[in-house]
Amino acid sequence: MGDVILTMKGIDKSFPGVHALDHVDLEVRKGEVHALMGENGAGKSTLMKVLTGIYSKDAGTITFEGREVEFTNPREAQDAGIVIVHQELNMLGHLTVAQNIFIGREFMKGRLIDDKKMNEEARKLFDQLGIDIDPTETMSRLTVGKQQMCEIAKAISHEAKVIIFDEPSAALTEAEIDELFKIIRDLRDRQLGIVYISHRMDEIKVITDRVTVMRDGGYVGTLITKDCTKEDIINMMVGRVIYEDPKTESQVAEDAPVVLKVEHLNAGRMVQDVSFELRKGEILGFSGLMGAGRTETMRALFGADPKQSGDIYVNGEKVDIKTPQDAVKHGIGYLSEDRKRFGIVVDKTVAENSTMASLENYMKGIFIDKKKENEAAQKYVDLLKTKTPGVDQLVVNLSGGNQQKVVIAKWLVRNCDILIFDEPTRGIDVGAKSEIYHLMNELVAEGKSIIMVSSEMTEILRMSDRIIIMCEGRKTGELGIEEATQERIMHAATLRN
């Protein structure tokens, strides 16, 4: 490790209602790979966005190469030598590799673009990095791994001094990861500073020199990688006090029947051989880090996305679910994690949204029975304590928590017995949150069964009777609430098989 090249000190950033970064420190030296770790929502990405000028900071200083800097956009950061290699690649698929690398600063011959020169320069760059890619190849024909190499080459061509890798290995195969690590080591030997964001514990041990851990927007500490264990890092990541009392024992009756059984579900890369059971009156928590494949599992199960294989049994009977229609017919309701896109129709009324999944029950001949519809909607507005001036109010005018209640009402009006709640409290305030928890407990007490996907550890431990943990499309753990701890969940959530 060489001299310090980048220092972020006391970085503070608030968004309305959220203290996203609370005086966070980060120090990167020349010739080191520095891991940045933390749970979902710990503030890693926000910190990097502050660094590269996508967000402005409220307080704190950034010192780069001995000078205090403040970038106002990523372009400025890039010109200074700080470059992010994103998880989702920003490449134009129909252009060639060389055209992508030099986009925005093409070599010109008079008024025409000099493709020949660009190809030559790109080739030199690849040789220098020891990458074997043809610069004239069309970008979309490369594998994700190769595309990422191009992105790195592009960063190098900008004379980057600090490169930030945002979960670079998430989409790569084993061989590609080896190649990536080879390049990263090479960059390190050339005295670049490297920030490496990843959830994969074993990679952190292999590739990084130091680890900085963040939690809930705050700075927890920095460790020398080779002096610490995986458990040390996990403890730092999850070591929060849980205020709301976690559930200590399962509320499900011993002899409760299995209402939903999923066997060997496969749907693309994100859902691989997932099997589980849901019992009557149970809240089954699905935990895992971002990109673990939980939402994809639920969507495949619900018929929202196609699945390759797998059997689904509802109340012991094998069912064929190809579309959401089929799922709804078998009494399954799905509350999506993205309420605005998949949950509600914002410019329609509370009543119209409430009966969306069961309109056929609110018909009088060919006409919609408006009175009956309004009564049903009103019933659930009262029951769920939805704050709305009336059932003819447009949903767009309600707060997030109340919109969520409208989506829940939609499935209750339909009288679904199996409810999939995907991040049910995302983006809603604390008060509404505890109301939704309360409601979920009431629902299972009435004999409904709930699958709850959640990225919040506290929510998982507070609500679940049993917890399934996923990592990268696979089920990596299953814990009864009695035996579940933050550490054990996090351990399974970072387990690659």
Binding mask 203-242 for another protein (x = CB under 8 A): ----------------------------------------
Residue 396 CB, nearest approach to another protein (Å): 7
Closest to 185 measured CA to CA, from 31, 378, 335:
31
How many residues can be counted in the chain? 497
Residue 353 CB, nearest approach to another protein (Å): 9
Tell me the C-alpha to C-alpha distance, in Å, between residue 373 and each of 147, 419, 478. Answer: 53, 22, 42
Give me the amino acid identity at 326.
D
Q: Is 327 in the site for another protein (CB under 8 A)?
A: yes
**Residue ranges in 344-363 that form contacts with another protein under rule CB under 8 A:** 344-348, 352, 356-357, 359-360, 363
Residue 239 CB, nearest approach to another protein (Å): 38
Residue 457 CB, nearest approach to another protein (Å): 27
Q: Which residue, 6 or 332, has its beta carbon nearer to another protein? A: 332
Residue 312 CB, nearest approach to another protein (Å): 16
Q: Is 403 in the site for another protein (CB under 8 A)?
A: no
Q: Which residue, 131 or 345, has its beta carbon nearer to another protein? A: 345
Closest to 434 measured CA to CA, from 426, 425, 443:
425
Residue 295 CB, nearest approach to another protein (Å): 12
Residue 305 CB, nearest approach to another protein (Å): 11
List 466's β-bridge partners, or say none.
284, 480
Q: Is 105 in the site for another protein (CB under 8 A)?
A: no
Residue 369 CB, nearest approach to another protein (Å): 10
Give the torsion sign (CA, 60, 62, 68, 72).
negative
Residue 271 CB, nearest approach to another protein (Å): 17
Q: Is 302 in the site for another protein (CB under 8 A)?
A: yes
Edge-first strand order for the sheet with 271-279 is 271-279, 258-267, 309-314, 317-319
Binding window for another protein (CB under 8 A); candidates: 140-148, 176-184, 217-225, 333-341: 333-341
Q: Which residue, 46 or 374, has its beta carbon nearer to another protein? A: 374
Binding window for another protein (CB under 8 A); candidates: 106-114, 255-263, 286-294, 329-337: 329-337
**Number of residues in contact with another protein under rule CB under 8 A:** 31
Residue 367 CB, nearest approach to another protein (Å): 5
Q: Is 304 in the site for another protein (CB under 8 A)?
A: yes
Residue 4 CB, nearest approach to another protein (Å): 45
Q: Is 341 in the site for another protein (CB under 8 A)?
A: yes
Which residues fall within 8 angstroms of residue 430, CB to CB, at 6 or more apart? none
Q: Is 453 in the site for another protein (CB under 8 A)?
A: no
Residue 433 CB, nearest approach to another protein (Å): 22
Out of 329, 385, 387, 438, which residue is the one contacting another protein (CB under 8 A)?
329
**What is the Cα–Cα distance from 220 to 22, expressed in whole angstroms?**
11
> Are the beta carbons of 210 and 4 closer than 8 angstroms?
no
**What is the Cα–Cα distance from 38 to 41, expressed in whole angstroms?**
8
Q: Which residue, 47 or 270, has its beta carbon nearer to another protein? A: 270
Q: Is 172 in the site for another protein (CB under 8 A)?
A: no
Q: Which residue, 182 or 348, has its beta carbon nearer to another protein? A: 348
Q: Is 415 in the site for another protein (CB under 8 A)?
A: no
| 224 burial via Cβ count (<10 Å: 0-12, 13-18, 19+) | exposed
User: Can you read off the two tokens belonging to residue 219?
Assistant: 């700075």
Q: Which residue, 360 or 483, has its beta carbon nearer to another protein? A: 360
**What is the Cα–Cα distance from 406 to 117, expressed in whole angstroms?**
59
Q: Is 396 in the site for another protein (CB under 8 A)?
A: yes
Q: Is 16 in the site for another protein (CB under 8 A)?
A: no
Residue 403 CB, nearest approach to another protein (Å): 11
Q: Which residue, 100 or 358, has its beta carbon nearer to another protein? A: 358
Q: Is 324 in the site for another protein (CB under 8 A)?
A: yes
**Residue ranges in 361-390 that form contacts with another protein under rule CB under 8 A:** 363, 366-368, 370
Q: Is 319 in the site for another protein (CB under 8 A)?
A: no
Residue numbers at the binding site for another protein (CB under 8 A): 302, 304, 323-325, 327-329, 334, 336, 341-348, 352, 356-357, 359-360, 363, 366-368, 370, 396, 410, 414
